[in-house]
Amino acid sequence: MAELKAYFVWDASVRWFHWINLLCLLGLIAVGVAILNDEALGLSSDGKVLLKTVHVWIGYVFALNLLWRLVWAFIGGPYARWRALLPGGRGYMNRVRDYIAGFRAGQPPQYLGHNPLGRIAVTCLLLLLLSQAISGLVLAGTDLFYPPLGSWIAGWVAAPGNDPATLVPYAKEMYDEAAYAAMRDFRKPFITIHEYGFYVLLVLIVIHILAVVVTEVREGGNLVSAMFSGKKVLRGPPADPADAE
């Protein structure tokens, strides 16, 4: 019987990022679904502003956590870095083929970092999270006049004689009509990206969870507990490329 060996893989930053990200996503998705259904829920204008405000504050935590993860990919431990995350690099396509063949045969090669298909999934997830964060930060400015763009947007839409710093969301009497209409046009692509990004993200989250469960059942390697302890236990030598170790 092959000997089991424990390896330290996920450093504290990666583990904290993962669980803070999960909590933020749960909050953002729950409040986002309520915002999407504001009419069915019969929300008042104040109710909508409250929901958006809660969503944006969770969004700030989410965006800062994501930013730190992206920085950590430049300076963090070997398995946190871009070269261990992104698909590609020398021999990548061979590793994909070996992985799929091994998977079909019921014995996929075991990786400490992400397996070759996992790299594609993680890259898509990070890109989508980044797109949600950027579009959300723009919407925080257009809808609530919140940072980072809020004061610029308030200055754009304030009616003459109104101090932009005192603008209130949905108080149309305080806005210049033409400037407000132009600002709503500017906002449109961001709300479209944010809303469709949300649907795609829901699909990716389901795929992510299914992939973790299937990989853990087929491959072992205690993926879930490793995100708490940082340690993975493998049966044989890891298949990771040498530059990711």
Residue 136, interface with ligand HEM (CB under 6 A)?
yes
Least distance from ligand HEM to the Cβ atom of residue 72, Å: 18
Among 14, 73, 139, 167, binds ligand HEM (CB under 6 A): 139
Q: Count Cα neighbours of 167 within 13 Å in the Cβ-side half-sphere.
A: 30
Which position's Cβ is nearest ligand HEM? 136
Q: Which is nearer to ligand HEM, 112 or 201 (CB)?
A: 201
Min separation Cβ 114 and ligand HEM, Å: 20
Interface size with ligand HEM, residues (CB under 6 A): 26
**Least CB distance from residue 199 to ligand HEM, whole Å?**
8
Q: What is the DSSP string of the chain?
A: -PPPEEEE-S-HHHHHHHHHHHHHHHHHHHHHHHHHTTTTTT--HHHHHHHHHHHHHHHHHHHHHHHHHHHHHHHS-GGGSHHHHSS-STTHHHHHHHHHHHHHTT-PPP-SS--HHHHHHHHHHHHHHHHHHHHHHHHHHHHH--TTTHHHHHHHHBPTTS-GGG--TT-GGGB-HHHHHHHHHHHHHHHHHHHHHHHHHHHHHHHHHHHHHHHHHHH-S-HHHHHHHSEEEESS-----GGG-
CB of 53 to ligand HEM, least distance (A): 9
Please, what is the minimum distance in Å from the beta carbon of residue 46 to ligand HEM? 15
Paired with 233 in beta bridges are 6
Site for ligand HEM in 22-41 (CB under 6 A): 25, 28-29, 32, 35-36
Minimal distance in Å, beta carbon 34 to ligand HEM?
9
Question: What does the per-residue mask of binding to ligand HEM show for 166-195, with x meaning CB under 6 A?
Answer: -------------------------x--xx
Q: Binding string, 43-72, against ligand HEM, x = CB under 6 A? A: ---------x--xx--xx-xx---------
Hey, which residues between 83 and 112 contact ligand HEM (CB under 6 A)?
Answer: none
Query: Is 154 among the residues that bind ligand HEM (CB under 6 A)?
Result: no
Residues ≥6 apart with Cβ < 8 Å to 138: 149, 187, 190
| Residues of this chain that bind ligand HEM (CB under 6 A) | 25, 28-29, 32, 35-36, 52, 55-56, 59-60, 62-63, 129, 132-133, 136-137, 139-140, 143, 191, 194-195, 198, 201
